[in-house]
Structure 1
Amino acid sequence: MKCIYCNSLLTVKNGYSEKGVQRYKCNDCKKRFCEKGIFARMRFPKEVITNALFLRLYPLSTRNVKRVLRKLNYIKVSHVSIYNWVLKFARHLCKFANIFPLRFTNLWHVDEKFIKVRRANKKRKKEFAYLWIVSDSKNNVLATHVSFARDIVNAKIVLQKAKQRTGFIPEILVSDGLQSYKKAVKKIFGKKTRHVIAHFKAKNVIHKGKWYKLSNNRAESINRFYALWLHVCKGFKRLDNANLWIEFFTVNYNYLIPRGEKEEVKVEWKKVPMLIKNVS
């Protein structure tokens, strides 16, 4: 049995709970846990929680997920509980990137869009933040970042995230006309990456003897995919929660949502509960 806190295998049985659930103790971190793992001390069964997370993969609000669960499972669940489940288990779903690495291409796209996030300073009427998204030519999302400022500092952050995620730098990076990308690309990727500025209209580029017809329409299409999810959220209350929810959506987009003509998924949902338990 693997420890749910430090992932150590040096665990021993440590009695039973009042309900007869096997308990374990880790000899490394000295903490105790039960065989239910991260689903321990939850009021609702594991099946109800996983069903709620599955429904939230699609553009359904937490209130609509609550109504579907009540209709199908005849279980009354609060929309606040569903919100808290997403915040708790999204951190474990984000670890899928380490278990199932994707094959990214050398052609990247970066773009940003407005999302609604409440500011700590209530005197400022504008409650908008910027969602930065880096994707490749196969519609895989490499990195995301949410910030209040649209400057070179946050451009560097999202590009650095993409570099750490993939382990290499792209040959070509396509962006819009935001000036912050110019210095950010030179700082993070160096001179080996060619920065191409292209909007909706395709631009002909010859790079290393190959002809490319580049535009940023691919990034805009991914932005519309996020917009479907964000439409039912009606904004976020905090910046850290916004980043966590966006990471949750990114994992769903890369691994769990059917895409392409064959409607294939990279990870079957029936394997998710066991994977969550193992990577926790």
Structure 2
Amino acid sequence: MYRIGEVERKNLENLRKVRAFAILAKGDMPKVAGKEIFIVPSQHDKEKRYTVSHNGGWECTCPDFQKTGIYCKHIQAVQMWLKLRENINADILELKDEMDAKIIRCDRCGSRHVIKRGKRKTKAGIRQRYECKECGRRFTPEPIKHKKADTKLIALCMDLFFKGLSLRKITDTIYQFYGIKIHHETVRRWINTVMSKIKEYVDTQAPEVSDFWHVDEQMIKTKKDEWVWCWNVIDRDTRFILANNITESRYVEDAREVFKKAKNIAKKIPRFITTDGLHAYERAIRKEFPTKTKTVHIRCAGLRKKDNNNLIERYHGTVRERDKVMRALDKIDTAKEMMEYWRIYYNFVRPHSVLDGDTPAFRAGICVGIGRNKWIDLIERSVVSQ
């Protein structure tokens, strides 16, 4: 067996990878001959077959592998074929989950054997009723249980709220366009109830973000005439808000807390972190991202410099558009809750022109809220997951 260098080995394996693509493109798919044993036809002699086995390591009976020990085209063809098959199976399972989510089930026994049984006329409109053929229960399918309002009406109120309308203006809009009278406190309860369920669901989704993060803080006012600091971490490529945190000060521990949240959500360590000149960032990054992680801190980024923090400053402007309508938040706990809900809206619902109308979650590989009505999709998924 030849002894070759690491660079040369990589180059030779890449050449064989191209030939492996050609094998699969030609239609010569590997055949399973046993546990971790595969048969791959020769590309030069139609009568020959080579055996590829995976018993702790990959081996092939072809002369190329026996002579060089490099992963030959047959081994790489099997690896590609296995990976392709796994992806197809995953897509089928995901499609099955999507279809199951749309099937009407009995809310008591979970049976699919249901039939239509009349309609109900409510203030929110006419609703289809169903009857379960297993247990005889009659029900109206709604993602949000124990709420008299229609799910679309609740989603509309939530959308208007996060787009800047006050609670009282929302109730006035609903009455003018739909003739439905609701109290502004009812809207507030809807938002808190639904957003708490959505938060539990989206917290289970792991975004695929880049190695470039931007961090900054902004001031938010409470009704006690006290200002608190809102720390935010945003990904450069996807515009995904990784984490936020509300604190009363700007010390090192406050900065470390938001970095911890961002690391837990991203499941990775960034290569570059851009901040302003706050000294707390420098010490917090040294503690949360040790030297061995090779994280580069870009500090004192100016508005007109090449390395700037304009991306997150633009996000703060978007937050301020919503914040100034509320005048002030009740207390620091309310601010934490509100900013967390806003993060969900920004990541999963709000379209971005710089992303060609996509949401940051979609660009981060999270296929949630990709339909026309993103709120309804989020609500349905959050309820099904529970």
Instruction: Identify the TM-score tier after normalising by the shorter chain.
Output: 0.7 to 0.9
Residues 244-266 of structure 1 deviation map (CA, whole Å, 9 limit, x = unaligned): 11111111111111112532344
Q: TM-score, normalised by structure 1?
A: 0.77
Instruction: Measure the CA separation in 1 of the matches of 2:379 and 2:198.
Output: 10
* Residue in structure 1 matched with residue 97 of structure 2 by the alignment: none
Name 1:65's counterpart in structure 2. 170
Instruction: Give the Å deviation of 1:52.
Output: 0.9
The CA deviation at 1:279 is: 3.1
Partners of 2:142 and 2:251 in 1: CA distance: 42
SS in structure 2 of the partner of residue 39 of structure 1: coil
Q: CA RMSD in A?
A: 2.7
AA at the equivalent of 2:277: G
Please name the residue that 2:222 is paired with. Answer: 117
Structure-2 separation of matches of 1:110 and 1:272: 27
Counterpart of 1:222? 315
Q: Secondary structure at the match of 2:158?
A: helix
SS class of match (1:142): strand
Q: Residue 201 of structure 1 contacts residue 215 of structure 1 at CA under 8 Å; is this kept in 2?
A: yes
- Sort the Cα spacing of 1:96 and 1:13 in 2 relative to 1 into closer, same or farther, 3 A: closer
Tell me the secondary structure at the aligned position of residue 135 of structure 1: strand
The structure that has the greater radius of gyration is 2
1:237 counterpart = 2:330: yes
Q: Tell me what 1:3 maps to.
A: none
Distance change (3 Å), C-alpha of 1:42 and 1:97: closer
State which drifts further: 263-272 or 217-226.
263-272
* Cα distance in 2 for residues equivalent to 1:12 and 1:49: 23
Inter-partner Cα distance in structure 2 for 1:224 and 1:62: 22
Q: Structure 2 vs 1, CA of residues 72 and 272 (structure 1 numbering), >3 Å: closer, same or farther?
A: farther
Listed as ranges, the gaps of 5+ residues in structure 1 are 1-10, 24-33, 120-125, 204-212
Q: Aligned pair 1:76/2:181, yes or no?
A: yes
Q: CA deviation at 1:98?
A: 4.3
Deviates more, 1:71-80 or 1:263-272: 263-272
Is it true that 1:107 corresponds to 2:212 in the alignment?
Answer: yes
Q: Is the 8 A contact 2:142 2:151 kept in 1?
A: no
Stretches of structure 2 that go unaligned for 5 or more consecutive residues are 1-106, 111-119, 121-128, 133-138, 363-368
Equivalent pair of 1:90/1:244 in contact (CA under 8 Å): no
| Residue of structure 2 in register with 1:274 after alignment | 380
Aligned residues: 241
CA contact (8 A) 1:171 1:194 kept: yes
Share of identical aligned residues, percent?
A: 22
TM-score (structure 2 length as normaliser):
0.57
Q: Is 1:188–2:294 an aligned residue pair?
A: no
Give, in angstroms, the shift of residue 43 of structure 1. 3.6
Equivalent residues of 1:134, 1:158 under 8 A apart: yes
Measured in 2, the distance between the counterparts of 1:214 and 1:101 equals: 28
Which has the larger share of helix?
2
